[in-house]
Amino acid sequence: MQKASVSTTAPTLAHGPKTRLAWVGQGFLLILAVLALYIVVRNLIQDPVQFGQIIIGGLQLGFVYALIALGYTMVYGIVKLINFAHGDVFMVGAFVSFFSVTKFNLESWPAVVFPGLPAAVVVVIGTLTVILLSMIVCTVLAITIERVAYKPLRDAPRIAALITAIGVSFFLEYFGALKFVFTPEFIPYPSPFTVVTFYINNGIQMMVPGKPLPGHVVTFTSIFVIFIVATLLVQFLLQYLVHRTKIGIAMRATSFDKPAARLMGINVDQVISFTFAVGAAFAGLGGVLYAIAYSSIWTQLGILPGLKAFVAAVVGGIGSIPGAFVGALIMGLAENLTMGYISTPMRDAVAFTILILVLLIRPTGLFGEPEKEKA
């Protein structure tokens, strides 16, 4: 011990107030930032329509990430577990809705029960039922996973729970790929309602299928609108839940200090289960919307969105609900802008570079509370 410390006395990473040559590193970052800004601005001026299209695609991707990231951020905020199975819960949500639409025609139940209803109401109620069923199934699944795979390990090293999370994730993917469970195939997803496209040309207009667009215009679909509405709704709901309700207070208390919360009479296990359940419900919602938007599902569709959503949650500051939202939008936009203007393959590189840079500048993420000085 003595020997080792003698040879390396000077701490390399300065934490003290006096820093030298900081401009070199800051200059490096500045060059990167200016370069990125230059690319974006140049392309904005060159072709604003394409730019708008890319932004809309990026936002849509960001909303998908946001719905998944909420579950990650809440679970991590409370039990400090990277719940790798969360992306697969999202996948299950998509599949449940697929079966409820194709096998049981759940989306048209209002028309069967109340034959007189107008078509628009039928579609809305039917779709909401499909979504609700997926959310319920996902909730039940998440609670089961939590009880079986994580709860017994609550006092074990955290890594053990992480490994079981990976195990659960593999299990859901490969068990789902068996022929008699879901399917090993990529299957086209029948949307419970017709997706319409709008374009911006002297105001917002609806595209008529088969009729060509009036030139080069920005388009977006009704799914995009639904995504915005759903994500914002969820966002406000969660804010209310966490800050205004009893269980929200219990969640925050548990996240802040588990033993103390237990002493205060909070049923910590129940709170944790509840957190998993809420996160899974939103993942289920995300799964259905994702399936409708991209209309092709298979058992491994949750892996990458899940991972990106976690990255988004970290960028936004883990444990923070608005942070997850903002982080997800940043990730989605960054990805699409990279795909559009730099190079498609480097998309992930850019995403993770952003993560690393954000963490270097703000170690707890954009919205995370700054860590207190370590003693």
Does residue 204 bind another protein (CB under 8 A)?
no
280, 314, 326, 330: which one binds another protein (CB under 8 A):
314
Q: Measure the CA–CA gap between 72 and 319, rounded to whole angstroms.
A: 9
- Amino acid identity, residue 315? V
Bridge partners (DSSP) of residue 197 are: 221
Does residue 309 bind another protein (CB under 8 A)?
no
Q: Measure the CA–CA gap between 241 and 74, rounded to whole angstroms.
A: 12
Question: Tokens representing 213?
Answer: 């667009």
Does residue 36 bind another protein (CB under 8 A)?
no
Place of tokens 């105001």: 203
CB of 6 to another protein, least distance (A): 8
Question: Tokens representing 282?
Answer: 């939103």
38, 175, 236, 240: which one binds another protein (CB under 8 A):
175
Does residue 232 bind another protein (CB under 8 A)?
no
Does residue 236 bind another protein (CB under 8 A)?
no
CB of 114 to another protein, least distance (A): 30
Residue whose CB is less far from another protein, 20 or 246:
20
CB of 79 to another protein, least distance (A): 11
Site for another protein in 45-84 (CB under 8 A): 47, 49-50, 53-54, 56-58, 60-61, 74, 76-78, 80, 82
101, 131, 133, 251: which one binds another protein (CB under 8 A):
251
Does residue 202 bind another protein (CB under 8 A)?
no
Q: Measure the CA–CA gap between 85 and 75, rounded to whole angstroms.
A: 12
Q: What angle do CA 76, 79, 84 make, to 5 degrees?
A: 50
Site for another protein in 115-154 (CB under 8 A): 149, 152-153
CA distances from 90 to 120, 147, 365 (A): 27, 18, 24
Asked if 75 contacts 253 with a C-beta cutoff of 8 angstroms, the reply is no
Residue whose CB is less far from another protein, 258 or 285:
258
Does residue 245 bind another protein (CB under 8 A)?
no
Contacts (Cβ under 8 Å, ≥6 apart) of 370: 362, 363, 364
| DSSP 8-state assignment for residue 147 | I
Contacts (Cβ under 8 Å, ≥6 apart) of 346: 338
Residue whose CB is less far from another protein, 113 or 257:
257
Nearest C-alpha neighbor of 313 from the set 57, 83, 29, 92: 83
Applying CB under 8 A, what is the total number of residues that bind another protein? 132
Does residue 231 bind another protein (CB under 8 A)?
no
104, 114, 170, 240: which one binds another protein (CB under 8 A):
170
Residue whose CB is less far from another protein, 4 or 120:
4
CB of 352 to another protein, least distance (A): 3
CB neighbours of residue 125 within 10 Å: 18
Phi, psi of 121 (to 5 degrees): -65, -40
> Contact letters (x/-) for another protein, 2-21, by CB under 8 A?
xxxxx-xxxxxxx-x-xxxx
**3-class SS letters over 105-119:** CHHHHHHHHCCCCCH
CB of 115 to another protein, least distance (A): 28
CB of 231 to another protein, least distance (A): 16
41, 114, 147, 188: which one binds another protein (CB under 8 A):
188
44, 207, 228, 247: which one binds another protein (CB under 8 A):
207
CB of 78 to another protein, least distance (A): 7
Nearest C-alpha neighbor of 201 from the set 46, 40, 44, 52: 52
Q: What angle do CA 359, 355, 60 make, to 5 degrees?
A: 135
Site for another protein in 257-296 (CB under 8 A): 257, 290, 294-296
Question: Tokens representing 302?
Answer: 């949750």
